[in-house]
Amino acid sequence: MKKQVLILMMLLISSMGFIAPEERTISGKVTSAEDGSALAGVNVTVKGTAKGTVTDAQGNYLLKVQGQGKTLVFSFIGLMTKEVQVGSQNRIDVTLTQDVSQLSEVIVTGRSKKLINGIASLFRGGENKAYAPSAYQDQNELGYSITNTEEYEGISENGFHDPLKDPLSTFSIDVDAASYSNIRRFIHLGQRPPKDAVRVEEMINYFDYDYAQPKGEDPFSITTEISSAPWNPQHKLVHIGLQGKNIAKDNLPPSNLVFLIDVSGSMSDENKLPLLKASFKLLVEQLREQDRVAIVVYAGAAGLVLPSTSGSDKNKIIEALENLQAGGSTAGGAGIRLAYEIAKENFKKGGNNRVILATDGDFNVGESSNDAMEKLIESKRNDGIFLTTLGFGMGNYKDSKMEVLADKGNGNYMYIDSILEAQKALVSEFGGTLFTIAKDVKLQIEFNPAKVKSYRLIGYENRMLKSEDFNNDKKDAGELGSGHSVTALYEVIPVGVESSFELVDALKYQPVKKQDIIKVENASSQNEILTVKFRYKKPDGDVSKLIVHPLVDEKVAIEKTSDNFRWSAAVAAFGMILRESEYVKNYSSAEAIKLAQGAKGKDVEGYRIEFINLMKSTPAIAMR
């Protein structure tokens, strides 16, 4: 008996030594040692475990750890990794410095000599698990190569035009922001983005601008500025900004949404279907009782996994998302047809009727070519149902398909590279992403030949329209959502300025046409450098409305311009540098960074400082 009591006491004493350590929440902020700015997207992991998180737009993080003997690891591409022991402290702030040696190992062709940690992170059920996508592996190190089959539509950069011969520049607006988050993904992985992945207008329009809200009956305000072009001070830069009316969430019309989700085998990676599920959960949390959601999936075939359900039944919607598994081929065409059928069956007159397609774009069954997909979407467009496309993944990503689907489906296109981007697109910009306030929005700029020698539109290469398309209400164009803004930039060579970008030499034998002389004489009496003409339709309308806005050059120095002007110029310059544009060959990334730093403004969400840090962290990839 005594022996049994002794054994029992020994077991009791022994078990007391194995009490699970208490779980604590560690918080803190990560900043740059160079200038003290917040660092967004930094990986914060518990050393030796899969637990981790990423810093938010303000550089803040929260992470649960057990015990005091743990070590936190802070890492970001281009910065020195730092390890900090937790100890008894509940708050750990760190600063990170640049790591020149790491950046020097990056090969500009797009392959990496070692694995480089990315910043994407997935949040599942309250537990944060770090996710670090790997870069392309070097064949000599691993013994095999990974084939990159990503597809991008070819872009030929806009050149200069003579306003005597081409006085009108016409294009459709573009509020898509996919290009920015996609090239950010490349840079975070230590790779230079493909040139055709860089759409400069989408980089510019990724950011919010401090434009005035519209005051009249039109759902837009127009802002214009002109000053010298940073990359060529002899040239002028024209900034045109459109601001859509911001409608409060409670006043938005009811939604009829269909989540069209690709569950084919190519979606099995962590940065595809798992990230997709986490992203849609964020969206579901924004839904109201009057909103409804159905879920359609497709792999080898398409099927309805959740009938149209009220937004108040969030648990049911989230459970349907959780049950999705990846496998099989990709019958994208069949999925799109079924999704539109479900959307039409539950159509809300006067509401927001929309299909949200989430995929890597790798369709391989049924309609799969860009032309076939374009015709399929165009055939559904007239039913009053809009299309939003959300892109996921890497390696086999089909950007060209995603862009054309959103374009032809009266919708918008975003690339989701992390849960932070999902938060921005589906929560912070919920209204602009899902609620259209105007469709078929077109801009036409008429240049005054007495003031303008030549001009070029920066970006929008795949959104150009014919001059006659502007007044043609049957011609499709871009859509604008609640609270969204659109920014366009023109580079202008003033009359009397000698430039290396002259179009053609003066003709020796061909006389100047009399009508051209009269045109210039009439124009010279006006101070206007150009006139902005703007057309739009109501979401359910068929007839467009015209707005006209002239611009006079007030000779404002660039340092006196608004943050809007200088920020958009800095983003455009960096985008052109990534594209190796001839128009910025004498302008450095360091100059673009300095311009951006002086135009950061309030930056409440931290997106601008993230961009500045992105530029700083890529000298071996994109800077010169």
Could you please report the per-residue DSSP string of 202-214? HHHTTS---PPPP
pLDDT at 551: 96
Task: Report the percentage of the chain scoring pLDDT > 70.
Answer: 81
pLDDT at 158: 96
pLDDT at 3 over 80: no
Q: Which of 467, 472, 582 is nearest to 160 (CA)?
A: 582
- Beta bridge partners, 51, equal 129
Amino acid letter at 99? Answer: D
pLDDT at 510: 53
Kindly give the interhelix angle for 399-408 and 370-381, rounded to the nearest 10 degrees: 20
pLDDT at 144 over 90: no
Lowest-pLDDT choice from 2-16, 133-147, 219-233, 545-559:
133-147
pLDDT at 621 over 80: no
pLDDT at 23: 80
What global pTM score does this model have?
0.80
Give me the mean pLDDT over the 190-200 stretch: 92
Lowest-pLDDT choice from 388-397, 488-497, 510-519:
510-519
Amino acid letter at 17? Answer: G
8 A C-beta contact, residue 571 and residue 564: no
pLDDT at 135 over 50: no
pLDDT at 117 over 80: no
Q: What is the DSSP letter of 373?
A: H
Task: Report the percentage of the chain scoring pLDDT > 90.
Answer: 50
Q: What would the pLDDT profile of 78-88 be if each residue is shown by its tens digit?
A: 678 899 998 88
What gap in Å lies between CA 196 and CA 399, rounded to an integer? 10
Region of 261 (left: φ > 0; alpha: ψ -120 to 50; beta: rest) is beta
Q: What would the pLDDT profile of 24-68 be if each residue is shown by its tens digit?
A: 889 999 998 887 888 877 888 888 876 778 787 788 898 888 877
Largest CA-CA distance found in the chain, in angstroms, rounded: 123
What gap in Å lies between CA 53 and CA 41, rounded to an integer? 9
pLDDT higher at 417 or 23:
417
pLDDT at 620: 54
What gap in Å lies between CA 163 and CA 73, rounded to an integer? 57
Q: What would the pLDDT profile of 590-617 be if each residue is shown by its tens digit?
A: 999 999 999 999 898 889 999 998 898 7
Q: How far is CA 314 from CA 225, 287, 399, 516, 623, in A?
A: 46, 8, 31, 65, 46
pLDDT at 521: 54
Provide the token pair at 160: 């200069």
Q: Which of 574, 607, 618, 619 is nearest to 592 (CA)?
A: 574
Q: Which of 217, 169, 198 is nearest to 442 (CA)?
A: 169
What gap in Å lies between CA 516 and CA 468, rounded to an integer? 21
What are the DSSP E strand ranges found in 33-80? 43-46, 52-54, 60-66, 71-75
pLDDT at 109: 34
pLDDT at 579: 94
pLDDT at 565: 98
pLDDT at 10: 58
Q: What structural domains and CATH numbers belong to the chain?
A: 23-139 (2.60.40.1120), 168-247+437-506+528-590 (2.60.40.1230), 250-417 (3.40.50.410)
pLDDT at 17 over 70: no
Residue where the block lists tokens 């539509």 = 153
8 A C-beta contact, residue 607 and residue 57: yes
Most confident of the ranges 65-79, 177-191, 494-508 = 177-191
Amino acid letter at 350? Answer: G
Q: 3-class SS at 367?
A: coil
pLDDT at 139: 34
pLDDT higher at 20 or 151:
151
Provide the token pair at 548: 């006209």
Give me the mean pLDDT over the 95-112 stretch: 51
For the chain, give the mean pLDDT: 83
Q: 3-class SS at 158?
A: coil
Q: What would the pLDDT profile of 374-403 be if each residue is shown by its tens digit?
A: 777 777 777 889 899 999 998 888 898 888
pLDDT at 288 over 80: yes
Task: Give residue 489's pLDDT band: very low, low, confident or very high (50, 70, 90).
Answer: very high
What's the burial of 113, exposed, middle or buried (CB within 10 Å: 0-12/13-18/19+)? middle
**3-state helix vs strand vs coil in the chain, percent to 5:** 30, 30, 40
Q: What is the DSSP letter of 214?
A: P
Residues in the chain: 624
What gap in Å lies between CA 167 and CA 523, rounded to an integer? 12
pLDDT at 64: 86
Residue where the block lists tokens 């964020």 = 282
Q: 3-class SS at 620?
A: helix
Strand arrangement of the beta sheet that strand 485-494 belongs to? 220-229, 232-244, 485-494, 452-458
Lowest-pLDDT choice from 62-66, 211-215, 366-370:
366-370
8 A C-beta contact, residue 273 and residue 324: yes
